[in-house]
Structures are given as structure tokens and as C-alpha cells.
Amino acid sequence: MTYVSSTPLLARSDMSWLTEWRRTLDWGLLGGAFFLMAIGLLLSLAAGPSAATRIGYDDPYFFVLRQVCFVGLGAIIMVAVSMLDRAWARRFATFVFVASLALMFFILLYGHEAKGAQRWLRIAGFSLQPSEMVKPALIVLGGWLLAQREQYPDGPWAVTAFLFYAVTLGLLLLQPDVGQSALLTAAFVVTFFVSGLPWKWAAGFAIGGLGLATSLYTLLPHVRYRVNSFIDPSSADTYQIDRAAEAIGRGGLFGVGPGEGQVKIHLPDAHTDFIFAVMVEEFGLVAALVLMAIFVLLILRGFRASSRLHDGYARAASAGLFTLFGLQAAINIAVNLALIPPKGMTLPFVSYGGSSMIGTGLTLGLALALVRGQGTRTRGRYG
């Protein structure tokens, strides 16, 4: 018996933009991102109601419903941006960078302050954190500027890229946001390195980073407090870290069961920064290892795609974007495991948060746009 498909097949000669996008997209990366979003929605059901009750909302599903909206918005942004070609990805990133930088200036004067930091804009009951968008935009813009050295070696491309980075870093430190500053610096250095970092620049970054870290420890009391409490837990309040450790310890191999976690009731930021601890308590170490494996596989696949690119701009920028995504996940998990001092950083696509979801969707959307084509081909024209 012969079966005939009712869906018309797309011919190889079909060169529409939608078909070209479908053929050249890395579906493994996109599928992994959607899988992380699904995990985030599941964990939002686990941690959201207790967080809403603790804060005092009448609707226990307040955070769950908002997270559904955030996930939808992040997915739309990621898919839409992935359809851009490399030139339009750079133009779009430049627009986002300028707009986000302007908003960061505005925040210093009129921003919403919370927990001693002024990082947010309050819009119709929602908080927007422009620094989440400025990071991937800067990486793409910096990667393009650094790539111009190949065609125009006498231009001040590296200096210009560094000045953009320095202005962004300065605005982040004025908020202050030391964790995001460190994350941005690491991703920018990777972008610089992949584009062919001269040893003088490498030495400058190393010396400058050490000097800046020393200055921040000396000048900012909250940085000094977090570092000291990490080195000597008995000298400070480590309530959140202790509760996270308790949750991880209770989880064991397979967890206490969905919705059965108890530590999340008393754990501040259980639905945001410490969502990983909630996952371990309810689903166990095995589930946590699976989640970490997904992140690792996504990053390795992303770097492999970046390494295949012949375009210096796309190669450097995509490597920086995948660093941004992977390092943020590593920092969040390390904080939950008490391996580093608390940073106030979300787990990409998993933690609750609109700005985080938008920023992560933009990051992976730009990365998917840059690695399309050469980066996804393994055999034949389209892989």
C-alpha cells in the first residue's frame, strides 16, 4: 500500500525567506530552548503559589500566569529575531543597544529602586530591566566592530568597541549591578578573544579586571559583605543560602515529589534566583543533572556552530552570545550550590521574570540568526 502525504513538500528550488530560515536554522538549539521554557513553566507551578502567598497576593497563581505570558513573549522574540540575516541582526542589535543605553541613563534619575539597587523601570505594573537587553546587543555590536579590523586594519575598531563596553559597564556599576557587570565582561572578553585578541589587550583586561574587583570590594559595602559572608559564613546572615542547601539536601536522588517541597515556603526568591534549589527538593538530583546536561549540550552545540563560521563578525559575536547564556546559567546554579557568593542572577528560561525572559530570548535569537547557514551545515547545502 502506498501512502501519499497530504502536506505539500517544499522543493529545494523554493527560495522564500521562510523556507530559507527553516532550512538553515539550528533546530536542536531552538528545541533545547523550548524545552527549558517548558521546565521553567513546570517549576513556576511548583514555586509560584508559595511565593505569591508569602508576598501577599490574593491569587496564588499570580506568578504562574505572568510567567506564561513572559514565556510566550520570550519565545516570539527568539523566533522572530532568529529570522534576521546577519546584516539585519547587527542593525537590530545596534538599535536595541542605543535604546537600552538611553533607558539605563534614564533609570539613574527616575528608575524604580528595590533591594538597594536602581535597575528597573515601572510600566503598567511591570518592571523592565534594560540591562538584560543591552548585554546581547553590545556583544553583537562589539563582534561586528572587531571584525572590521580584517578589512580596515587602520581603523579604531577595537578602541570603539571597548568604549561602548566601558560606558555600558559604568552604567551597570552605577545601578549598582556587579553580577551583571562580571557576566558582561566575561562575554565581551570571549568575543574579543575569538576575534583575535592581541596580548596587550589581554594584559590590559587582566590588570584592569583585578583593579576593578579590588576597588569594588573596597568601595561597595554590599559587595564586601557578600564576599566576607561567603568566606566566613558565621560572620553574616546566610539565611537564603542555608535554606537553599536545606532544600537540596531534602531532595535526595528523586525528590520529595511535585508540589511537596517545604523549604520553598520560607525561601525568599524561590521562584527567581533559587528556582534550582526548589527543583532539586521536589524532583531530586537526577532531574537537576538532566537540567544541567541540557544547558551543557546547548552551549557545546552553540560553540560548535560558531566555530564553523567563516564570517569573523558572526563567529565572534555568536561565541560571545553563547558565553553570555551559558555563564549566566552556571553562575545561578553555583550560587544555589553555595560555590560562589550570591549574585542575584536568574536561571535562563527557567526562573520567573519578564526582563530575564526577554533578554534571554533576544540573546539566543541573535545567536540563532548568526549561526544559520554555515554553522548548521553538516552535509550538503543545508545540512
pLDDT for 218 equals 83
- Looking at residue 236, what DSSP letter applies? S
pLDDT for 206 equals 83
Residues 6+ apart with CB under 8 A from 334: 340
Which string of b and e fits 251-278 if b means at least 16 CB within 10 Å?
beeebbeeeebebbeebebbbbbbbbbb
pLDDT for 227 equals 78
pLDDT for 381 equals 42
pTM of model > 0.85: yes
**Three cell numbers at 248?**
537540596
Q: What is the DSSP string of 248-292?
A: HHHHTTT-S-TT--SGGGT-TTTTTTTHHHHHHHHHHHHHHHHHH
pLDDT for 336 equals 92
pLDDT for 7 equals 45
Domain boundaries, the chain: 37-197+238-376
Q: Are 104 and 181 in contact (CB under 8 A)?
A: no
Tell me the mean pLDDT per 10 residues along the chain, length 383: 49 68 92 96 92 88 94 96 95 96 88 66 80 96 93 89 94 88 93 85 83 82 77 73 88 88 84 92 94 96 94 95 96 91 88 93 97 65 38
pLDDT for 382 equals 36
Task: Return the half-sphere exposure (C-beta side, CA atoms, 13 A cut-off) of residue 288.
Answer: 26
| Residue 34 burial by Cβ neighbours in a 10 Å radius (0-12, 13-18, 19+) | middle
Q: Are 329 and 295 in contact (CB under 8 A)?
A: yes
Residue type, 321: L
Residue bearing cell 528560561: 349
- Looking at residue 318, what DSSP letter applies? H
Cβ-based neighbour number of residue 176 at 10 Å: 18
Residues 6+ apart with CB under 8 A from 173: 181, 216
